Amino acid sequence: MPVTLTSLDDVKFTVDKEVAERSILIKNMIEDVGESDSPIPLPNVSSAVLKKVIEYCEHHRNDPVQVQDETDDPRKRSNDIEEWDMKFMTVDQEMLFEIILAANYLDIKPLLDVGCKTVANIIKGKTPEEIRKVFNIVNDFTPEEEAQIKKENEWAEDR
Amino acid sequence: MSFLTPIALPSLPTEVLEIILTHLSQPDLTQCVRVSHAWNKALVPYLWRTLAIHSRHSLKRFITNEAQQALRRNATFVRELHLVHKALYDKSLPCRKTLISDPGVMLLEVYTISLFTNLRALELEPVRLVRPNPEFDLEIFALVRQNPHLRRLLVNVKMDPKTLINLVTKHTPHLGDLDLVVSWRGDVKALLDCLPECIRTVRLRNVVHDAPSNAQGKTSDASDASTTLARHHHALESLHVAGNLAGKQEEVLVPFLESCSPKLKSVGGTGGGMGSYFFGNARIAKILSNLGIVCKELSQYTLPNNVSDADLAELIAANSEWTNIELYTRQVGPQAAAAIVECCEHLEALDIMHNGARGLSGFHLQAVLGKATKLRSLQAHWLLNTDKITAMNILSSQWATTSLEHMDLKIEVQRAIQASRSVQRQVLRRLGQQKKLRKLVIGGMTTDLATGEFVHQRDCLEMTLESGIDELVDLKNLEVLDIHHMDHRAGVPELEWMVANLPRLQILIGMLDTLRPPSDEVREWLSTHRPSWR
Instruction: Judge whether A47 is closer than 8 Å to chain B, CB to CB.
Output: no
Residues contacting residue A74 through CB under 8 Å, at least 6 positions apart: B22
Interchain proximity A116–B66, CB inside 8 Å: no
* Residue A81 Cα distances to A63, A115, B13, B113, B453, angstroms: 15, 10, 23, 43, 71
Percent of chain B with pLDDT over 90: 34
* Residue B514 Cα distances to A91, B452, B453, B457, B500, angstroms: 81, 20, 17, 10, 23
- Count CB neighbours of B249 within 10 A: 21
Closest chain B residue by Cα to residue A138: B36
pLDDT number for residue B271:
40
Interchain proximity B62–A155, CB inside 8 Å: yes
Residue A96 reports pLDDT greater than 60: yes
* Nearest alpha carbon to residue B85 among B57, B118, B48: B57
Three-state secondary structure call for residue B299: strand
pLDDT number for residue A77:
54
pLDDT number for residue B85:
60
Q: Kindly indicate the confidence band of residue B233, based on its pLDDT and cuts at 50, 70 and 90.
A: confident
Better pLDDT: B164 or B49: B49
Which residues in chain B have Cβ-Cβ distances shorter than 8 Å to A111?
Answer: none
Average pLDDT over residues B339-364: 81
Gap between the Cα atoms of A27 and A33, Å rounded? 10
Facing residue for A141 by CB, picked from B15, B37, B58: B37
Residue B427 reports pLDDT greater than 50: yes
* Nearest alpha carbon to residue B267 among B251, B288, B252: B288
pLDDT number for residue B265:
84
Q: What are phi and psi of B356, to 5 degrees?
A: 125, -5
Facing residue for A153 by CB, picked from B7, B21, B30: B30
Residue length of chain B: 534
Q: Which tens digit of pLDDT belongs to each residue from A32-69?
A: 877 777 889 999 999 999 999 999 999 999 888 766 55
Facing residue for B7 by CB, picked from A8, A44, A97: A97
Interchain proximity A149–B34, CB inside 8 Å: yes
Residues 117-136 on A with a CB inside 8 Å of B are 117, 119-121, 123-128, 131-132, 135-136
Residues contacting residue A33 through CB under 8 Å, at least 6 positions apart: A40
Average pLDDT over residues B141-161: 85
Q: Chain A: nearest CA to B321, how far in angstroms?
A: 30
Q: Which tens digit of pLDDT belongs to each residue from B59-104?
A: 888 888 899 889 989 989 999 988 776 656 666 677 777 776 766 6
DSSP notation for A65-110: PPPP-TT--SS--S----HHHHHHT-S-HHHHHHHHHHHHHHT-HH
* Nearest alpha carbon to residue B279 among B255, B259, B253: B253
Residue B349 reports pLDDT greater than 50: yes
Crossing angle for the helix pair A47-59 and A93-106, to the nearest 10 degrees? 70
Residue A17 reports pLDDT greater than 50: yes
Facing residue for A137 by CB, picked from B28, B31, B36: B36
Gap between the Cα atoms of A51 and A56, Å rounded? 9
Facing residue for A148 by CB, picked from B8, B32, B66: B66
The answer to whether the CB of B31 falls within 8 A of the CB of A146 is no
> Long-range pairs for A120-127 at CB < 8 Å and ≥24 separation?
A120/A78, A120/B20, A120/B21, A120/B23, A120/B24, A121/A78, A121/A81, A121/B23, A123/B20, A123/B24, A123/B28, A123/B31, A123/B32, A124/A78, A124/B23, A124/B24, A124/B25, A124/B28, A125/B28, A126/B31, A127/B31
ipTM surpassing 0.90, yes or no?
yes
Segment among A64-68, A119-123, B281-285, B373-377 with least mean pLDDT: A64-68
* Nearest alpha carbon to residue B253 among B314, B308, B191: B191
Better pLDDT: B280 or A128: A128
Q: Is B533 exposed, middle or buried (0-12, 13-18, 19+ CB in 10 A)?
A: buried
Instruction: Judge whether A93 is closer than 8 Å to chain B, CB to CB.
Output: yes
DSSP percent split of chain A into helix, strand, coil, nearest 5: 55, 10, 40
Gap between the Cα atoms of B397 and B259, Å rounded? 47
CB pairs under 8 A between A and B: 128
* Residue B510 Cα distances to B87, B390, B409, angstroms: 63, 21, 15
Instruction: Judge whether A84 is closer than 8 Å to chain B, CB to CB.
Output: no
Q: Which tens digit of pLDDT belongs to each residue from B356-374?
A: 556 778 888 889 999 999 9
Residue A70 reports pLDDT greater than 50: no
* Residue B323 Cα distances to B64, B316, B362, angstroms: 58, 12, 21
Q: Chain B: nearest CA to A136, how far in angstroms?
A: 9
Gap between the Cα atoms of A149 and B41, Å rounded? 12
State chain B's mean pLDDT as an integer. Answer: 83
Residue B424 reports pLDDT greater than 90: yes
Q: Kindly indicate the confidence band of residue B23, based on its pLDDT and cuts at 50, 70 and 90.
A: very high
Interchain proximity B66–A136, CB inside 8 Å: no
Gap between the Cα atoms of A20 and A27, Å rounded? 7
Facing residue for A155 by CB, picked from B35, B37, B67: B67
The answer to whether the CB of B521 falls within 8 A of the CB of B490 is no
Segment among B214-218, B248-252, B445-449 with least mean pLDDT: B214-218
Three-state secondary structure call for residue B107: strand
Phi-psi category of B184—alpha, beta or left, where left has phi over 0 and alpha has psi -120 to 50?
beta
Q: Which of B41-55, B270-284, B308-322 has the largest mean confidence?
A: B41-55
Three-state secondary structure call for residue B155: strand
Residue of A152, A154, A157, A159 for testing the chain B interface, max B β-carbons within 10 Å: A152
Gap between the Cα atoms of B316 and B322, Å rounded? 8
Closest chain B residue by Cα to residue A78: B23
Residue B459 reports pLDDT greater than 80: yes
Residue B272 reports pLDDT greater than 50: no
Q: Which tens digit of pLDDT belongs to each residue from B93-133?
A: 777 777 767 666 666 666 667 788 899 999 887 654 445 56
Instruction: Judge whether A32 is closer than 8 Å to chain B, CB to CB.
Output: no
pLDDT number for residue B129:
42
Gap between the Cα atoms of B38 and B277, Å rounded? 56
The answer to whether the CB of A63 falls within 8 A of the CB of A85 is no
Average pLDDT over residues A114-128: 94
